[in-house]
Structure 1
């Protein structure tokens, strides 16, 4: 079996040195619409459960590349042979540092030294919560994903141009009708169920309007990331020049879209689900019970709201994690 690495990016929003540097650049950043909300950086103190989930449910992982501004969790055992600490300066040119934009950071993950050709990219809110096999991510050397067309629906409130920009890049390099014809069974597949209807209805459009995504870990081929960088360096560097997130950023989805339209993937089932943690205790309880019941292999626990009691909610979530993963992993220092 070819090695499969995991890549995860992490920020310690409580680090005073990081906070001071961030405040310094907030004052001089030119983008009025930058996304610099506190919720982009706050820490739920549950990263240890990400590592416990990997060790218990995906022990076959070859290497974990931990990408960070420079801070490292006090409990993380960096001597573990599976852990590779990656500083932003190791993968991002000096003229663009420091950067507080996760989109800019993830565009550079193919620069990680020693990264395997097959790897899976995680945000730090995406957890493995049930046993997984390498074939959940890769089959015969190809990523397991889905090719489902999507309309690009404009939202005045969000004003996010990312999909428009990225579909423009895809349409510049790929002919939609030719792509679908050459990989017809990957675009119209029984595993998509009712979602095949999207492909049927959107097929008449001559251009790609959008491709469906899930807020879950993505399997990638490093060679595809290298290829996108070769073809579109100017567009990618534009995002990297944004120290904070903006509505005009390109993100890691461009690599997924490129894999899909170039046919370098295997159709697979949905094995995870993304959840929005809210300020509603009853709704969150359902999510936490789903976590403990291991109803999915992968869960994303996303939060984009202000909490009336963030510390209380954090404790409730981590109690749920601890009931599922109570044992210390080899990635944690012995106390």
Structure 2
């Protein structure tokens, strides 16, 4: 039957639009890595310091710091780098002034250490030479509109980037006084329409920023989603792996995880984006027999454009990493061991 030209054009445009959407989705989703490598680690001896749940590790020059979430007295422990000989512990746990209620993350930049205390709703910074004297730390109280900050990174020396947990945005830029200077992005979900606190909780992400290439990258704690923001040209890249978006059940304003444990750390270098990936379902984790294994067995490496390049399968289960591309090695934290610091030599 003859159809008017206008109707034919509408159908043609819809067809072209569908092809365009499919091409866009094909760019977003990935299912494999270019290279798969098995990697054996070397355990570092740290007998004089009992780390309970080491979560983050970073170094600058000859000093390394490990953040321990469950240590009964201190959140932070200083070591020599790269030999990891213990020096001292600091960041006393407690409610008093100059003590820490909850350590979420920390950064070592330009001779200073910056730390985030979510319960006290503030960021502190102190000279790395003065870390045993918390009374000399400077505090930045965060804007009351920020919902419980769970990660942060420095941006342009005097500002911070903090993920948003209201569901309205993806992250905030915070000025040196702790006030929201600007808010950016949306949660890139294909499955949920309601942008609320529960969705933001499920999409909790770990972040890192590299000022040399102005790249901000985020990975989800649940599911398998990587986001890359180039803060120079405002481009945004989303990459979703085989495990898909974070899965959860909504109960009021709470997100109850129901899918997999995803990423647990990320580092943006001048060349690549390094991530720690778990990939185990909560059902599998709950049904484990003794001894319980915690952490991720994979290091995923992406290009700065989000292309999946290298998948390392490790002989340890880890949480935090510190990448040194100059020496081509990664120091990682194995929470299952009494000797949790592991050295891996890169092979790519």
Compute the TM-score of the two structures, normalised by the length of structure 2.
0.27
Where relative contact order (Cα < 8 A, 6+ residues apart) is larger, the structure is 1
Structure with greater proportional strand content:
2
More helix by share: 1
